[in-house]
Chain A
Amino acid sequence: MISERLYTFADFVCKTLFEPLINLIDDKKKKKPLFLSPSNSEMDFQVVILAGGFSSNLAPLVSKEVPKALLPVANRPVLSYVLDLLESSNLKDLIVVVEGEDAALTVGGWISSACVDRLHVEVAAVAENVGTAGALKAIAHHLTAKDILIVSGDIVSDISPGAVAATHTRHDAAVTAMLCAEPVSGPAESGGAGGKDKIKKPACYDIIGLDSSKQFLLYIATGVEVKRDTRLKKSILCAAGKMEIRSDLVDSHIYAFKRSVLQEVLEQKPTFRCLKQDVLPYLVRTQLRSDVFSDEKAVEENGSGHGKNNMQNNDGVSSQILSNAFLPSFHKVYESGLDIRKTHKCCVYIADESKYCVRLNSIQAFMDVNRDVIGDANHLSGYSFSAHHNIVHPSAELGSKTTVGPHCMLGEGSQVGDKCNVKRSVIGRHCRIGSNVKVVNSVVMDHATIGDGCSIQGSVICSNAQLQERVALRDCQVEAGYVVFAGGEHKGETFARK
């Protein structure tokens, strides 16, 4: 089946050699209705999932076979969580953008096997290292809807993307970002968690400035910039009157953009690479002197009060009445105060603190997500837990005197020898674990082999890796297919073939 797809894929590449976008799943007949704007009664949103490629942050974990989007979280690819989330919001026409053609092929293969019957998914491949902004630029000609919902492919969350879309629609905003409370990172071992958290707290924060109603974004600086001086726009501060600066929120990479604005920005600023670090701060910075609305667009959206002379007089009056009736945001006030200056709104949706939202963008995050999905946020995993708060697949074989603690997962066909102890760990499918093995706070992926007497703490063992006897690992990562020789004791190491 895969070879067949490869063939069509190669065929397609030949035809559109210089086009960065490759459609893998759908043949041309199917494609046409998909890229048209969605049917009229539905909301006018297109969804783009940025699934990334082989992220260097996750170096030993990702491999040719496993791009970032397919990293297993509780034995399911992380992308499936995003797809499920969108599906639960009834968003079924999706565009998945993957960096690199190999990765696109792999991701496309997985999607077609997993959910072709439920969702209409387009997989588009873009060149590697173009950044999120570049990726969007590459697929720009496929965006037709009025608003674009952009979701990062590595999010594990239960926040409805509809909430972002609704906020966006309600305010008629140029961009709406979703912020959520900073996730707790570090292994949550009972009791001793406090001290470790301190050490592992990330060094960089997102500095976010909100207006007093907490609906508009006045300032945003992402982690990287913070070490330098940060500058605020005086005009924005004056117009808003009051600004609340927070560092306990993180940008969770779910955005709603107005398509016209997004495309305008990408056209005007070819140097922009990243949505989060370039596009969003730019839009926030320029919200009171907006260049992104050319005149015709201002007419297009007459509801928001950018009335133009060439409009009919009555329309002007009615839009005036409408805009007068709205609670004046500081944009309006600023607009009315000076000569006609165009503004755009940058809104935020702040997720409830009880909601779960984590991005899988580092090894630590990978561990955290795995831990949470079978632990605190287990409603996300979609599995039903046993009475002991763990999931042991019926086909898994446990030796005598082996204990599998709560918040554990044992995939199908795995074998665990005698006198083993598994705590707060995820063990993939068809793993073979010898006797007298201790696995704590770790992730063992499919088909791994662990010899007798091993001790694994806080580590990730990738698929097909092999641990020989009496290996002790602490905070280590073992690349896929790597063989760790017997008797070693390792701490904080990364095992990868050079």
Chain B
Amino acid sequence: MDPRRGPLAVPKVRRVGFFTSIEPSPETPRPNRSLSGPAEAITSSSPLSDSPSGQFISPVQIPPSRHHSDNLASRAAPVPVPGPSAFRRQLANDRTLHVGSYNPVDSLLGTSPPSSNGEVSEDSGSLFGFQRSDSAKLSASFPNGGFDMTVAVRAPGESEAKVATASTSDGRKKNVEASGESESVATKPRKEKETRSLKEKTSKAERRAIQEAQRAAKAAAKGEGSKRAGESSRPKPSKPAKQPQPKKEAPQVTSSVSEKRAVSVEKERRMDVPQTQMQYDDKSRVDKAKRRSVVEQTESKNKVELFLHLPQYERGNQLPNLSSNIFTLDTIHHAVYKVGLQHLAGDIAGDNARCIAMLHAFQEAINDYTTPPMKDLTMDLTAKINGYVSFLIECRPLSMSMGNAIRFLKNQIRKLPVDLSEPEAKASLCSEIGRFIDEKILLADKVIVQHAVTKIRDGEVLLTYGFSCVVEMILLYAHEIGRKFRVVIVDSRPNLEGQKLLRRLVTRGLDCTYTHINAVSYIMGEVTRVFLGASSIFSNGTLYSKVGTACVAMVANAFSVPVIVCCEAYKFHERVLLDSICSNELGDPDAIANVPLRNNKKHSKTMDNNKNLQFLNLMYDSTPAEYISMIVTDYGMIPPTSIPVIVREYRREDLLL
């Protein structure tokens, strides 16, 4: 079509390059897959089985048809029968008929045909195009197709192995054990799945089964690596292990000072716990919190039932209330206050930025801190920080990364030697915070950029969703070192963060396409790689990120486009997340009700008072690990199954150093 799409034919052919790029020798795995995999079986079995494969590629290949630009005319004639949408519907029908036995094949086929047909590209593509029209009918009329269960059964195992080999050859020794372990875990539920309907790959029960198995594995691993396991400060899984520990400590130490210290440590630990997990449907606790609260909040009238456990407040008068109190809040340091105000007003977005802003504010607050007479610096400062944190939570719920940073800071305070003078202690804390920002965020970003850039090759089309500063850095750096690629920015209402990214990329001279998430299934066809940012990644590999990310990842998965998540390791969280309901944040409901540039004041007014109407503006969603191909982090490129390893091996040391 247009000239810039010309060179893109190349990466299209090498779609599986995702795996080859990771592996040192790209030749070995490819034939391996095409020979042993069901793809081979299918292509050899019958023309019938060919047809669904054609079908499955079809959504990939239909939209821009850049491959066939030369024989477009010839193609146009036979294809008219099904439009892409009609096609999908038919496809869905098929699936229900076939008890989803396509599905694993689908996932494989999506990747395999380009690998096997790669060299033939144009002709074969058009061949598929011709066949497609009747293939749908055919497959409909032969419900059992050419598939038997065994093929389907083998398929996922195969793909799993592939991922595992890919990751092992990645060069990280730790990953070997991790992926090995996780593989054994992950294949188990897979087998269960086969017996059940394979169609619903992502059904909740199954995911839970997987995650439970993983958790069990993790617990086992924890049992092995025993000593440290107890020190995780998250409540549920580690509580029994946690409590005995400080008790053990207490008798050992004899001096009264350190005894007091131990008590305070325990106390602080207890204080640590409720931070992110306040249940807002628990009346008594909410009331208690309200009495302490600084920001005046009125609960919203039309609460969303399912999310009662999350804070739901009227947005309108929070900001004026808080800002008129600016001079009366003596307890809050002005730097912290400013950050809180910016969070509340939504001026500052993005996890890294929020975290950095908060840490800078804490730095300033600590600098200005003086211990009141007759008080201990450790305890008093911790109490102060707790006050700041609860203020920030009132302004906007903390992100996971901020929680981690706060935990780091509290640990640092706790570990201050008793004999340190106040200025020394303050200086050391400030430098520790600075080090955290430098090492865990800024340097980590640099490392991630270096890693991720190796995954960008000339002629690729990269898709990103929303705005992530790491992804922006990657794209800019790749452009700087002369890679030729195109960027698709997918955005969504109401914040339209992608526009910021778009503006900056375009001014730097990158070739960009901007679209909204509604069109993601269309645009995904021409994409060769998806880069996503993250708010957090949990131990079971679940990606917790801006709402819509899961949708993008799943569409990418359906189109067999590799999904690469870029996330600094300080954002990893040792909790396990199964859905996006338990832990989430609700944004301003008005933001989705009001459409900019449209005068709908009257409209929304009538809507406001409607009891039957609730606006739900979710901020985050969770993407199951199976939709993530790779996570680029500062410890290297890892599969999502390796998150617990990082948390266990690296983070603990950082936290309790």
Do A and B belong to a common assembly?
Answer: yes
A residues whose Cβ falls under 8 Å from a Cβ of B? 40-45, 89-91, 160-163, 165-167, 169-171, 303, 314, 317-318, 321-322, 324-328, 333, 336-337, 352
Give the A-B pair count, Cβ closer than 8 A.
Answer: 113
Distance in angstroms between the alpha carbons of A42 and B354 in the assembled complex: 22
* Chain B residues near A170 (CB-CB < 8 A): 323, 338, 341-342, 345, 347
**Main SS class of interface, A:** helix
Contact between B338 and A325, CB atoms less than 8 A apart:
no
6 interchain residue pairs of minimum CB distance = A325-B353, A166-B323, A160-B324, A40-B368, A162-B326, A325-B350
29 A-B pairs with CB atoms under 8 Å apart are A40-B368, A40-B370, A42-B327, A43-B337, A89-B326, A89-B327, A90-B327, A160-B324, A161-B327, A162-B326, A165-B327, A166-B326, A167-B323, A169-B334, A170-B342, A314-B438, A321-B352, A321-B356, A321-B442, A322-B348, A325-B348, A325-B352, A325-B353, A325-B469, A326-B353, A327-B347, A336-B503, A336-B504, A352-B320
Inter-subunit contact B500/A169 (CB<8 Å) = no
Indicate if the CB atoms of B326 and A314 lie closer than 8 Å. no
Q: Within 8 Å CB of B323, what residues of A?
A: 160, 162-163, 165-167, 170
Q: Which residues of B contact A40 (CB under 8 A)?
A: 333, 368-370
Complex formed: what's the CA distance from A91 to B326 in Å? 10
Asked if A318 and B437 make an inter-chain contact with CB atoms under 8 angstroms apart, the answer reads yes
CB pair B334–A317 under 8 Å, yes or no, is: no
How far apart are A300's CB and chain B's nearest CB, in angstroms? Answer: 13
Q: Of residues 603 to 629 in B, which have CB atoms within 8 Å of A's CB atoms? A: none
Q: A194 to nearest B CB, angstroms?
A: 28
Residues in B neighbouring A325, C-beta threshold 8 A: 348-350, 352-354, 357, 469
**Apart from A41-B331, A163-B324, A166-B322, what 18 extra A-B contacts exist at CB < 8 Å?**
A41-B333, A89-B324, A162-B325, A162-B328, A171-B347, A314-B438, A314-B442, A318-B437, A321-B350, A321-B352, A321-B442, A322-B353, A325-B349, A325-B350, A326-B348, A327-B346, A336-B504, A352-B320
Q: Which residues of the other chain, B, contact A43 by a CB distance below 8 angstroms?
A: 326-327, 334, 337
Q: Is the CB of A321 within 8 A of B353?
A: yes
Within 8 A of A (CB), among B342-399: 342, 345-350, 352-354, 356-357, 360, 368-370
B-side interface mostly: helix
**Distance of A45 Cα from B445 Cα, bound (Å):** 37
> Which residue among A169, A321, A326, A327 has the maximum number of chain B CB atoms within 10 Å of its CB?
A321
Asked if B122 CB lies within 8 Å of chain A CBs, one says no
B330 at the interface (CB under 8 A from A): yes
On chain B, the residues within 8 Å of A324 by CB distance are: 350, 353, 469, 472, 500, 504
Shortest B349–chain A CB gap in Å is 6
Q: CB-CB < 8 A to A162: which residues of B? A: 323-328
Write the residues of chain B forming the contact surface with A, with a CB cutoff of 8 angstroms.
Answer: 320, 322-328, 330-334, 337-338, 341-342, 345-350, 352-354, 356-357, 360, 368-370, 437-438, 441-442, 445, 469, 472, 500, 503-504, 507
Note all chain A residues with C-beta closer than 8 A to B330: 41-42, 90
> Which residues of the other chain, B, contact A318 by a CB distance below 8 angstroms?
356, 437, 441-442
Q: How far is the CA of A328 from the CA of B498 in the complex (A)?
A: 12
Please tell me if the beta carbons of B328 and A169 are within 8 angstroms of each other in the complex: no
Q: Judge whether A169 and B337 touch: CB under 8 Å.
A: yes
Bound CA–CA A41/B368 (angstroms): 7
In the bound assembly, the distance between CA atoms of A337 and B441 in angstroms comes to 27
Closest to B597 in A: A212
Task: List, in ascending order, chain B residues with CB within 8 A of A321's CB.
Answer: 350, 352-353, 356, 441-442, 469
Q: Which residues of B contact A91 (CB under 8 A)?
A: 327
Which A residues are CB-close (under 8 A) to B337? 43, 169
**A317: B residues at CB distance < 8 A:** 442, 445
A163-B320, A166-B326, A321-B469 known; A326 and B347 CB under 8 Å? yes
A328 and B500 form a contact (CB under 8 A): yes
Nearest-CB residue, chain B, relative to A316 = B442
Give chain A nearest CB distance to B610 CB in angstroms: 25
Min CB distance B335 to A, Å, is: 9
Measured CA separation A143–B318 after assembly (Å): 32
CA distance A169 to B357 in the complex (A): 14
Known: A41-B333, A89-B324. A322 touches B356 (CB 8 A): yes
B341 cross-chain contacts in A, Cβ below 8 A:
166, 169-170
How far is it, in angstroms, between the C-alpha of A67 and the C-alpha of B348 when the chains are bound? 47
Residue numbers in A under 8 Å from B346 (CB-CB): 327
Which one of A41, A44, A327 has the greatest number of beta carbons of chain B within 10 Å? Answer: A41
Q: In the complex, which residues of chain B have a beta carbon less than 8 angstroms from the beta carbon of A166? A: 322-324, 326, 341
Residues of B with C-beta under 8 A to A44: 334
Q: In the complex, which residues of chain A have a beta carbon less than 8 angstroms from the beta carbon of B442?
A: 314, 317-318, 321
> Across the interface, do B356 and A328 meet the contact criterion of CB distance under 8 Å?
no
A317 CA to B445 CA, complexed, in Å: 10
Complex CA distance for A311 and B348, rounded to whole angstroms: 23
Contacts of B352 in A (CB 8 A): 321, 325
> How far apart are the CA atoms of A322 and B354 in the complex, in Å?
8
Q: How far is the CB of A159 from chain B (nearest CB, A)?
A: 8
- Give the distance in Å from the alpha carbon of A333 to the alpha carbon of B469 in the complex: 17
Compute how far the CA of A325 lies from the CA of B337 in the bound complex, rounded to whole angstroms: 18
Q: Which residues of A contact B370 (CB under 8 A)?
A: 40
List, in ascending order, chain B residues with CB within 8 A of A336's CB.
503-504, 507
CA distance in complex: A382, B338 (Å):
32
CA distance A43 to B328 in the complex (A): 9
Assembly CA distance A322 to B349 (angstroms) = 9
